[in-house]
């Protein structure tokens, strides 16, 4: 599954992993040594994330139910906690640098494609 920024017409990920159960969200990226370019983890529902016990920084996108970008965090370092976004419905975790490479910003509309 692909994750597309419809506003910018760019591909954020060609390898999307959906974490839509409690156990999948709890595990997230914990235990991984790397997060390869082209991968994404979507946590749904989700209003905040942490990087405790992670080994690498990540880019984070907070999106609402319509898949509109509410806010972004570039290069969230290990052992950090994000703010809480009460109007967020999903969080997209991406390899560090992906947001800059795709010029993704607040207000952009995202979608999936096969």
Encoded tokens for 93: 């975790």
CA distance to 23, 27, 50, 99, per residue, from 104 (Å): 29, 26, 21, 5
Indicate whether 113 belongs to any domain: no
Determine, yes or no, domain membership for 16. Answer: yes
CB 94 within 8 A of CB 12: yes
- What confidence score (pLDDT) does residue 88 get? 97
Classify residue 81: in a domain, yes or no: yes
- Report if residue 109 sits inside a domain: no
Q: What CATH number does the domain containing 9 carry?
A: 2.60.120.1140
Kindly report, residue by residue over 12-28, the tens digit of the pLDDT: 999 999 989 888 787 77
The reported pTM is 0.93
Within a domain: 111: no
Q: What is the DSSP letter of 64?
A: -
Token couple for 78: 């290990």
**What's the number of domains the chain is made of?**
1
pLDDT at 7: 97
State pLDDT tens for residues 89-100.
Answer: 999 999 999 999
Residue 55 domain boundaries: 2-104
């Amino acid at each position: 599954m692909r994750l597309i920024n419809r506003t910018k017409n760019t591909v954020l990920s060609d390898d999307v992993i959906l974490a839509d159960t409690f156990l999948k969200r709890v595990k997230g990226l914990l235990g991984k040594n790397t997060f390869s370019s082209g991968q994404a983890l979507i946590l749904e529902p989700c209003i905040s994330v942490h990087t405790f016990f992670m080994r690498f920084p990540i880019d984070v996108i907070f999106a609402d139910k319509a898949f509109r970008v509410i806010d972004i965090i570039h290069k969230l370092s290990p052992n950090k906690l994000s703010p809480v976004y009460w109007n967020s419905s999903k969080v997209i975790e991406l390899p560090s640098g992906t947001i800059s490479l795709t010029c993704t910003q607040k207000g952009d509309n995202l979608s999936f494609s096969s």
